[in-house]
């Protein structure tokens, strides 16, 4: 059984991004970039399934500029067998990404397709669901537990108020939540070894995908700033202040 | 302009987040609500009484009972023709189903929007709420998910909107519902509570989390929340997590106790009216967003706070 995992290169979660003064976008010229944390969980899960003998090949895919190679190398170092890079400088939203992934899935024919539940840059939370729809495949979003049986996958997913368990026919699309697993730390020798693994290049033109029709960005603004308030010396003073503000 | 809202429910009751979505959608035009389910006529009648609802569409079939994305998305698509916007709350339910609808219709989705500027223009958070982007689309149809905490909840009135039975789409049989475990609680729902008391990693154990926060929450009639670190350490169940990847809350009063104030946490609570922070580190980031801060040990402060509140 083959697994395909999509990984995105995003601004590292520790970086506080700044809005450009003219509101035209974000200032992310020189900030640290990493693999989207949810995608790390997706890769980790695939590697664990392989280690458990449930699948035998893991293909990692990333879409975007040249530097996406870095996250693909990380995925390979974590245990993916080969990588596909759809190289483009175009801004891609979830709609475009899901259409490109659809083409790759149709070529690769994986049984399990794993993605992160959302990318921490645009926080859109759409790609896995869209891809599942385009493939007419079942979906299990926000997965916290994955079990592969012979002809179905049983997934526990996080919902408001608790968890829900679904059994999916194959091929199936799964989106990973952070609690799915704790991704392994990539060791230097593994990164070196990953350089020998195949990283195939593809282009949007080759794949023949129409990626027109995305949302237009009009402007970007800072969130309404909260003023730091006051320090109170003790509980009595806190209660006084809260009572004065009619909060209690 | 007519809007179709996909109702979230448990067969008996409408999820409150759908009420927030109904309020938001009224800014766009006439609001119709789709209730898909199995044997839920009572619920359909409840929905017809909500102010602002012009029509209720009712789809009844056994395969709609668990509101699986694979079953509900084709139903929404089959009804989509007359609508300019297809809308749900950005809850786990809406996030799961609506992108599937958008892909089947080949249209854009604006996720988790916090403001409707006009029928083509919306504001939504990106980068964990570090920035808000205004997006626009000229597409004839759009899918929207609504951040519930940014809109008030619609209320029921004496009206009776017409109810229309619609044809069920055939069962897809791609996935099978196995089970659901919901955390039982008689506390107010986290996203709707007037007061939220949240605890972080500092509590040290599930026992202490419970022993300190439960009496405080009881005294205040509050919901209990948690940071991701507290959830990961299993002090609290995952559906209590507040933040970028958990629940977005905006109560009148929010207590962040033993929580450092990482952006991923504040993303989920910074719209609260009043924020109180209790932390032993005077430089903790949480104090930058708190209206009132106490520097000190939570193991002393929380019991004292509970006692003094009880004695008021
Ligand atoms: C992709 C991604 C998504 C995330 N999503 C979320 C999310 O949705 N929600 C979320 O909360 N986090 C999220 N996080 C995690 C986030 O970055 C932080 O790691 C987390 O919020 C830290 O939790 P904490 O504040 O409880 O723990 P810590 O950062 O360990 O802070 C504990 C705090 O307690 C204080 N303290 C210790 N002892 C005491 C005492 N006795 N009395 C008083 N104070 C004390 C310390 O000074 C410290 O400030 C996410 C991270 C990633 C990478």
- Tell me the pLDDT tens digit for each residue of B57-70: 999 999 999 999 99
- A137 to each of B236, B249, B304, how far by Cα in Å? 33, 33, 55
Q: Does A165 touch chain B (CB under 8 A)?
A: yes
8 Å CB contact of A95 and B108: yes
Phi, psi of B17 (to 5 degrees): -60, -30
- Window 58-77 of B: residues touching A by CB (8 A cutoff) are 68-70, 73
Share of chain A above pLDDT 90, in %: 93
Q: How many CB atoms neighbour CB B296 within 10 A?
A: 16
Chain A residue with CA closest to B90: the answer is A125
Is the pLDDT at A226 greater than 90? The verdict is no
At B244-261, the pLDDT tens digits run: 989 999 999 999 999 999
Helix axes B298-310, A235-244, angle to 10 degrees: 50
Q: Does A166 touch chain B (CB under 8 A)?
A: yes
Which of A149, A222, A226, A236 has the most B C-beta neighbours within 10 Å, making it the best mutation to test the interface with B? A226
* pLDDT reported for residue A214: 84
The encoded tokens of residue B21 equal 């979505």
Query: CB of A13 within 8 A of CB of A24?
Result: no
Query: CB of B122 within 8 A of CB of B110?
Result: yes
Give the gap in angstroms from C-alpha A144 to the nearest C-alpha of chain B.
Answer: 10
Q: How many CB atoms neighbour CB A106 within 10 A?
A: 11
Q: Which residues contact A242 (CB under 8 A, 6 or more apart)?
A: A248, B253, B274, B276, B292
* Alpha-helix residue ranges (DSSP H) falling in chain B: 16-25, 41-48, 69-79, 92-105, 206-220, 228-232, 263-266, 298-310
CA of B241 to the centre of ligand 1 (A): 11
pLDDT band at A142 (very low <50, low <70, confident <90, very high): very high
Give the gap in angstroms from C-alpha A197 to the nearest C-alpha of chain B.
Answer: 32
Minimum CA distance residue for ligand 1 atom 18: B262
Whether ligand 1 lies within 6 angstroms of the CB of B226 is answered as no
Whether ligand 1 lies within 6 angstroms of the CB of B297 is answered as yes
The encoded tokens of residue B172 equal 């897809």
Which atom from ligand 1 is nearest to the alpha carbon of B199?
Answer: 26
Minimum CA distance residue for ligand 1 atom 26: B200
Query: B36-74: buried (b, 16+ CB within 10 Å) or exposed (e) per residue?
Result: bbeebeebbebbbebebbbbbbbbbbebbbbbbbbbbbb
- Window 121-140 of A: residues touching B by CB (8 A cutoff) are 121-134, 136-140
8 Å CB contact of B136 and A218: yes
Give the gap in angstroms from C-alpha B162 to the nearest C-alpha of chain A.
Answer: 30
Length reported for chain A: 248
Strand A216-221 and strand B131-136: pairing? antiparallel
Give the gap in angstroms from C-alpha A85 to the nearest C-alpha of chain B.
Answer: 23
Which atom from ligand 1 is nearest to the alpha carbon of B243?
Answer: 8
Chain A residue with CA closest to B138: the answer is A215
> Which residues of chain B are modeled with pLDDT < 70?
none
8 Å CB contact of B263 and A16: yes
* pLDDT reported for residue A180: 96
| Residue matched to tokens 């139903």 | B75
Which of B130, B180, B244 has the CB atom closest to A223's CB atom?
B130
CA of B207 to the centre of ligand 1 (A): 18
Q: Does A193 touch chain B (CB under 8 A)?
A: no
- Window 219-248 of A: residues touching B by CB (8 A cutoff) are 219-223, 226, 228-236, 238-239, 241-242, 245, 247-248
C-alpha to C-alpha distance for B275 and B298, rounded to whole angstroms: 16
Is the pLDDT at A227 greater than 90? The verdict is no
* pLDDT reported for residue A224: 85
The encoded tokens of residue B273 equal 């009216």
Q: Which candidate, A103, A92, A168, places its Cα nearest to that of A135? A: A103
| Residue matched to tokens 């083409």 | A103
* pLDDT reported for residue B185: 81
Whether ligand 1 lies within 6 angstroms of the CB of B75 is answered as no
The encoded tokens of residue A159 equal 């919902």
Strand A162-169 and strand B175-182: pairing? antiparallel
Is the pLDDT at A150 greater than 90? The verdict is no
Average pLDDT, stretch A89-110?
97
- Window 235-294 of B: residues touching A by CB (8 A cutoff) are 237-239, 244-245, 247, 252-253, 263-264, 270, 273-276, 287-294
Whether ligand 1 lies within 6 angstroms of the CB of B285 is answered as no
Exposure of B152 by Cβ count < 10 A (0-12 exposed, 13-18 middle, 19+ buried)? exposed
8 Å CB contact of A129 and B103: yes
**Bridge-partner residues for B98, per DSSP?**
none
Which atom from ligand 1 is nearest to the alpha carbon of B281?
Answer: 47
Share of chain A above pLDDT 70, in %: 100
| Residue matched to tokens 């991004």 | A17
Average pLDDT, stretch A99-117?
98
pTM above 0.80, yes or no: yes
Q: How many CB atoms neighbour CB B171 within 10 A?
A: 14
8 Å CB contact of A218 and B121: yes
For every residue of B220-274, DSSP letters joined together read HTPEEEE-HHHHHTTSS-GGGBBSTTSB----SEEEEES----HHHHTTTTT-SE
Q: Does A159 touch chain B (CB under 8 A)?
A: yes
Chain B residue with CA closest to A235: the answer is B305
């Amino acid at each position: 059984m083959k697994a395909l995992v999509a990984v995105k290169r995003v601004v590292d979660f520790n970086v506080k991004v700044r809005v450009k003064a003219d509101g035209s976008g974000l200032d992310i010229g020189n900030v640290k970039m990493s693999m989207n944390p949810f995608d790390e969980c997706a890769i980790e899960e695939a590697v664990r399934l392989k280690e458990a003998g449930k699948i035998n090949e893991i293909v990692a895919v990333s879409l975007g500029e040249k530097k996406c190679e870095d996250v693909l190398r990380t995925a390979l170092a974590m245990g993916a067998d080969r990588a596909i890079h759809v190289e483009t400088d175009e801004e891609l939203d979830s709609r475009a990404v899901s259409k490109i992934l659809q083409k790759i899935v149709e070529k690769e024919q994986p049984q399990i397709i794993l993605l992160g539940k959302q990318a921490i840059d645009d926080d859109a939370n759409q790609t896995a669901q869209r891809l599942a729809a385009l493939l007419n495949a079942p979906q299990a979003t926000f997965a916290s537990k994955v079990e592969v049986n012979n002809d179905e996958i049983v997934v526990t997913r996080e919902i408001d108020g608790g968890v829900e368990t679904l059994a999916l026919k194959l091929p199936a699309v799964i989106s990973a939540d952070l609690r799915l697993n704790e991704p392994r730390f990539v060791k230097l020798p593994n990164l070196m070894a990953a350089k020998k693994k195949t990283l195939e290049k593809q282009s949007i033109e080759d794949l023949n995908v129409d990626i027109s029709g995305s949302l237009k960005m009009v402007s970007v603004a800072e969130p309404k700033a909260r003023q730091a308030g006051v320090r109170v010396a003790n509980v009595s003073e806190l209660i006084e202040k809260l009572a004065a503000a009619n909060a209690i | 302009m007519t809007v179709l809202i996909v109702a979230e429910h448990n067969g008996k009751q409408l999820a409150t987040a759908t009420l927030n979505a109904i309020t938001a959608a009224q800014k766009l035009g006439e609001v119709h609500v789709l209730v898909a389910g199995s044997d839920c006529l009572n619920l359909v009648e409840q929905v017809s009484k909500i102010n602002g609802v012009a029509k209720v569409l009712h789809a009844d079939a056994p395969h709609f009972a668990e509101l699986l994305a694979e079953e509900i998305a084709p139903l929404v698509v089959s009804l989509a023709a007359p609508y300019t916007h297809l809308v749900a709350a950005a809850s786990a339910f809406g996030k799961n189903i609506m992108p599937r609808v958008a892909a089947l219709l080949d249209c854009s989705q604006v996720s988790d929007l916090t403001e409707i500027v006009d029928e083509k223009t919306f504001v939504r958070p990106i980068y964990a709420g570090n920035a808000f982007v205004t997006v626009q689309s000229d597409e004839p149809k759009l899918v929207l998910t609504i951040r519930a905490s940014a809109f008030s909840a619609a209320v029921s009135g004496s009206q009776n909107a017409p109810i229309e039975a619609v044809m069920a789409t055939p069962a897809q049989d791609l996935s099978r519902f196995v089970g659901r475990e919901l955390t039982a609680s008689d506390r107010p729902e986290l996203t709707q509570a007037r007061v939220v008391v949240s605890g972080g990693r500092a509590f040290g154990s599930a026992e202490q989390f419970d022993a300190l926060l439960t009496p405080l929450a009881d005294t205040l009639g509050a919901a209990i929340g948690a940071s991701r670190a507290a959830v990961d350490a299993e002090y609290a169940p995952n559906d209590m997590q507040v933040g970028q990847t958990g629940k977005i809350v905006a109560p009148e009063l929010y207590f962040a106790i033993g929580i450092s104030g990482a952006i991923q946490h504040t993303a989920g609570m910074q719209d609260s009216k009043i924020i109180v922070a209790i932390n032993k580190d005077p430089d903790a980031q949480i104090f930058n967003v708190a209206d009132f801060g106490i520097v000190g040990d939570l193991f002393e402060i929380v019991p004292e706070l509970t006692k003094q509140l009880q004695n008021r």
